[in-house]
Amino acid sequence: MIPSAFEYERATSVDDALAKLAATGGAGKLLAGGHSLVPLMKLRLNEPTTLIDIARIAELVGIREQDGLIEIGAGTVHHDVATSDVLRNRCPVVSDTAATIGDPQVRNRGTIGGSLAHADPAADYPAMLLAVDAQIQIQGPGGVRAVPAADFFQDLFTVDLAPDEIITAVRFAPVRAAAYAKLYQRASRFAIVGVAASLDVADGVIRGARVGLTGALSHAVRLTAVEAALVGQPATGSATAAAAKGAGAALSDVNADLHASEAYRRAMVSVFTKRALDGALARV
């Protein structure tokens, strides 16, 4: 439980962090809240030669709304996302999701950027970011780029992020009619199954839907069959029940571990898809 020896450096800006990261030639790691990286280092599953601390970079922290978009800095801790007035008023599914993460210690140190880069298959933010159609803002030696959440999460602990890049923010248009529903793993509070849903309803009819799933597969995905089944349906509980019914059965390669069997997870995907959809309906 003792990590390999490493150097520690503190970055003062995003440019400084990128320069320090480049100087390690691929052997360094960014350190944000440390709640995922440090346990891996203690198990020697990750042995960076240098840790570059980005936790005090002011430009990475904060939640702002501008030109119709909300931006959350990558260094913003889960507690600040959970308690943000902007998010609670304009896009409550985001603060609701953050409030379900871990315990107060985790929420006060862990960051949204660290969670996205780490990409634990049971992490909460990925499902929610799929449902609000967020863009992940990334900076690297080649400049700045934005990746849609739907393309960012690629496989187990694998995302569209190069070792010499840094996530700077996530950006999305606020969605009111959206909700997150989660089956908690009792000890850590990670998601055994977590579903986020957002609905576009006009004149009592569902015009569009986005449903993000975490916890059940190697990485977060959109439930496109559920989304398609909702479009054109009346905005009622019967429509959400019909769309959610086969959601779990339709999945391939469902996780099984000591917390839940494959069959149980499949059943819970349908149950929590229905709950997330009904939560979104209640906010229409």
Ligand X SMILES: Cc1cc2nc3c(=O)[nH]c(=O)nc-3n(C[C@H](O)[C@H](O)[C@H](O)COP(=O)(O)OP(=O)(O)OC[C@H]3O[C@@H](n4cnc5c(N)ncnc54)[C@H](O)[C@@H]3O)c2cc1C
Element (H, E) at 50: strand 50-53
Q: Is 117 in the site for ligand X (CB under 6 A)?
A: yes
CB atoms near residue 39 (< 10 Å): 13
Identified binder of ligand X from the candidate list 11, 24, 80, 113, rule CB under 6 A: 113
Q: How many angstroms separate the CA atoms of 189 and 75, rounded?
A: 21
User: Smallest gap, in angstroms, from Cβ of residue 228 to ligand X?
Assistant: 28
**Residue 103: is it exposed, middle or buried by C-beta count within 10 angstroms (0-12/13-18/19+)?**
exposed
Q: Is 81 in the site for ligand X (CB under 6 A)?
A: no
In the bound state with ligand X, the residue whose beta carbon lies nearer, of 78 and 210, is: 78
Q: Is 189 in the site for ligand X (CB under 6 A)?
A: yes
Identified binder of ligand X from the candidate list 11, 74, 81, 134, rule CB under 6 A: 74
Identified binder of ligand X from the candidate list 70, 93, 94, 123, rule CB under 6 A: 123
Contact, 211 vs 226, CB < 8 A?
A: yes
Q: How many angstroms separate the CA atoms of 116 and 153, rounded?
A: 8
User: Smallest gap, in angstroms, from Cβ of residue 130 to ligand X?
Assistant: 14
In the bound state with ligand X, the residue whose beta carbon lies nearer, of 129 and 166, is: 166
Q: Is 73 in the site for ligand X (CB under 6 A)?
A: no
In the bound state with ligand X, the residue whose beta carbon lies nearer, of 132 and 281, is: 132
**Region binding ligand X by CB under 6 A among candidate stretches 103-111, 232-240, 247-255, 260-268:** 103-111
Output the six-digit token pair for 152: 């960012």
Instruction: Annotate 214-243 with b (16+ C-beta within 10 A) or e (fewer).
Output: bbbbbbbbbbeebbebbeeeebeeebbeeb
Q: Is 235 in the site for ligand X (CB under 6 A)?
A: no
Contact, 231 vs 208, CB < 8 A?
A: yes
Rounded to 10 degrees, what is the CA torsion of 96, 107, 216, 87?
A: 30
Residues touching ligand X, count (CB under 6 A): 29
**Region binding ligand X by CB under 6 A among candidate stretches 183-191, 217-225, 237-245, 246-254:** 183-191
Q: State which amino acid sits at residue 210.
A: R
Give the footprint of ligand X on residues 27-46 (CB under 6 A): 29-37
User: Smallest gap, in angstroms, from Cβ of residue 9 to ligand X?
Assistant: 13
Q: Is 101 in the site for ligand X (CB under 6 A)?
A: yes
Output the six-digit token pair for 1: 């439980």
Give me the residues that bind ligand X (CB under 6 A), please.
29-37, 74, 101-102, 106, 110-111, 113-115, 117-118, 120, 123-125, 166-167, 188-190
